[in-house]
Amino acid sequence: MDSMLVTGGCGFIGTNFVRYLLKESDFSGRVINVDKLTYAGNPENLSDIEKDFPERYIFTKTDICDQEGMARIFEDYRIDTVCHFAAESHVDRSIVRPDAFIQTNIVGTFNLLELAKANQGRLILFHHISTDEVFGSLGKEGFFTEETPYKPNSPYSASKAASDHLVRAYYKTYGLPITISNCSNNYGPYQFPEKLISLMILNALEGKTLPVYGDGRNIRDWLYVKDHCTAVWTIMKHGKRGETYNIGGKNEMENIGLVEMICDVLDEHQKREDNLPRRELITFVKDRPGHDRRYAIDFTKLTRELAWIPEESLETGIHKTIQWYLDNQEWVSRIKSGEYQSWIEEHYG
């Protein structure tokens, strides 16, 4: 793997993966980061990487749906490996505007697969990042495995399910060397404040209300983002071509319990000015349409075959995440004010 294309590398998980790849892993090649820079993409996340690894890190603002632009990137940089993160990923946004999800998640993936197929002579691997949401909703018992039938319930998860099927079809039909990973909910540094954990942390710090959908009893399995990065790299190095691997954190919790944990940990780190507990900020709001009740990942296959296990518990991961946000208030301010978008406009047009 000498020349790896990372799509969506300025997003939350992509940023953490690029940082891990160049600073902590045994990867010795170069990374070509392609990102469209939608609202959640921020190249400032990697400004130190650009400075510290000038020969090994290249960024280009390009839409994965731009066939000609992506074809030039494949040719100019002699891409031999693809790690495909780029996606519209917020369920609420998919309910309001599903067209963007169809375009990026399905058409964009198809475009990348076509280019990978055209360059199959030198392609080592096409790794596709997906989600546990493609499996639908679980009852009180059981876990998603790699054999669980797909049953997506939102436009977002349906678009990711479609992209998974396309990737698998290109392996079966054209022999494209692929692997797929389906992960549980990620959290950690650099997360745009729209997902549950990041939103709750920042709202709680500002003394704003903490909106919890429905009765708050929806259950998710939480995966610290660095654990996700180590799992992806393990799969890319050692995973069997054509196989799917589930990545989970073994950290199930009801949403209300998670929000209460965030409040309590924040109170430990930084008291409110009025000295009241942050739990008082919690408020229940109308549930969103098609809100899956429970997700839980069985990652036995990844542990058994590739010897991967997550390092962080939910408690240790939440402490690390909160500390990161407290230590990076300038980043938070630029994100919340939209100032980072002016920087992107100035540098990339």
Q: Active-site residue numbers?
A: 132-133, 156
Residue 85 in contact with residue 6, Cβ under 8 Å? yes
CA-angle at 159, arms to 155 and 160, nearest 5° = 120
How many angstroms from the chain centroid is the CA of residue 280?
30
The conformation of residue 316, written as its DSSP 8-state character, comes to: H
- Contacting residues for 253 by C-beta, under 8 A, at least 6 apart: 219, 220, 222, 261, 314
Of 336, 346, 345, 317, the closest CA to residue 16 belongs to 317
Burial 225-245 (b: 16+ CB within 10 A, else e): bbbbbbbbbbbbeebeeebbb
Q: Which residues pair with 222 in a beta bridge?
A: 185
Of 156, 54, 32, the closest CA to residue 104 belongs to 156
Helices (H), the chain: 12-23, 47-52, 67-76, 91-96, 98-101, 109-118, 155-174, 196-206, 225-238, 255-269, 300-306, 314-327, 329-337, 339-348
Strand 30-35 versus strand 178-183 pairing type: unpaired
- Distance between CA atoms of residues 65 and 68, nearest Å: 9
Instruction: Work out the number of other CB atoms within 10 angstroms of the CB of residue 199.
Output: 18
- Distance between CA atoms of residues 245 and 254, nearest Å: 25
Which SS3 state, helix, strand or coil, does residue 127 take? strand
